């Protein structure tokens, strides 16, 4: 049975499984992506086109994604580590990283493996910020540095409302509350280096 869809716009270009496969190859050649993001891209192309193939578009999309994985142009585990690492370096915490990976179509297994590697141990999110949890601690410190919180602030603040807003900003960025409070409890320092702040936190643990 032909799965031709009646176009609402006569200018829609015809699209079949072979052309869809070409689009998939061109996309992975241009972008570092995940299987979920590729599937969404192909679904959008199908919606924008007139489907003219005996194979259903859903089957064609899955076939194209599977082929890219077999050719090793797609590796969700590697993508999760790369994407998560980039987010950590921007100062975003594990909760934000996990949410973004889920949005990108990364499985829970690949996501947690990437997060385990980024934090440098096998603990949970609540353990991050303790001794040995370098990845999350460094990410939170970079966030504080960018926002000029805690040891990076020009002056100390005793305003509880301001402090709670700062804690909320850490949490929205995906950081653990206990780690946020430990960083914010540090007094302003004279041009501190993130490693210096990390050492102070480690000595407190």
What's the structural domain count of the chain? 2
Distance between CA atoms of 95 and 99, rounded to whole angstroms?
Answer: 6
Assess contact for 63 and 17: CB atoms under 8 A.
Answer: yes
Q: Say yes or no: 95 and 193 in one domain.
A: yes
- For residue 52, give the H/E element and its range: none
The whole-model pTM stands at: 0.64
- For residue 50, give the H/E element and its range: strand 50-51
Q: Say yes or no: 101 and 191 in one domain.
A: yes
In a domain, 22, yes or no: yes
Closest to 144 measured CA to CA, from 108, 103, 180, 98? 180
Which of the 8 DSSP states describes residue 14?
A: E
Which of the 8 DSSP states describes residue 176?
A: -
Q: Say yes or no: 110 and 182 in one domain.
A: yes
In a domain, 53, yes or no: yes
Assess contact for 123 and 113: CB atoms under 8 A.
Answer: no
Which of 70, 89, 108 is the endpoint of a domain? 70
Distance between CA atoms of 181 and 178, rounded to whole angstroms?
Answer: 5
In a domain, 196, yes or no: yes
Q: Which tens digits make up the pLDDT trace of 63-96?
A: 999 999 999 999 999 999 999 888 888 888 888 8
Q: Which tens digits make up the pLDDT trace of 19-60?
A: 999 999 999 999 999 999 999 999 999 999 999 999 999 999
> Residue 21: which domain range?
14-70
């Amino acid at each position: 049975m032909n799965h031709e869809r009646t176009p609402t716009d006569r200018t829609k270009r015809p699209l079949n499984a072979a052309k869809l496969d070409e689009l998939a190859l061109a996309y992975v050649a241009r972008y570092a992506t995940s299987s979920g993001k590729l599937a969404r891209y192909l679904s959008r192309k199908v919606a924008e086109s007139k489907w003219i193939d005996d194979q259903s578009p859903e089957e064609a999309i899955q076939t194209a994604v599977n082929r890219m994985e077999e050719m090793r142009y797609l590796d969700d585990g590697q993508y999760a580590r790369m994407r998560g690492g980039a987010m950590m370096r921007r100062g975003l915490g594990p909760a934000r990283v996990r949410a973004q990976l889920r949005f990108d179509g990364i499985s829970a297994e690949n996501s947690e493996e990437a997060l385990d590697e980024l934090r440098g141990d096998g603990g949970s999110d609540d353990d991050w910020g303790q001794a040995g949890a370098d990845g999350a601690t460094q990410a939170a410190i970079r966030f504080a540095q960018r926002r000029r919180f805690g040891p990076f602030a020009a002056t100390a603040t005793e305003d509880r409302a301001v402090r709670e807003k700062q804690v909320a900003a850490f949490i929205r960025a995906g950081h653990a509350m206990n780690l946020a409070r430990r960083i914010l409890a540090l007094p302003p320092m004279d041009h501190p280096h993130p490693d210096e702040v990390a050492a102070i936190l480690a000595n407190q643990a």
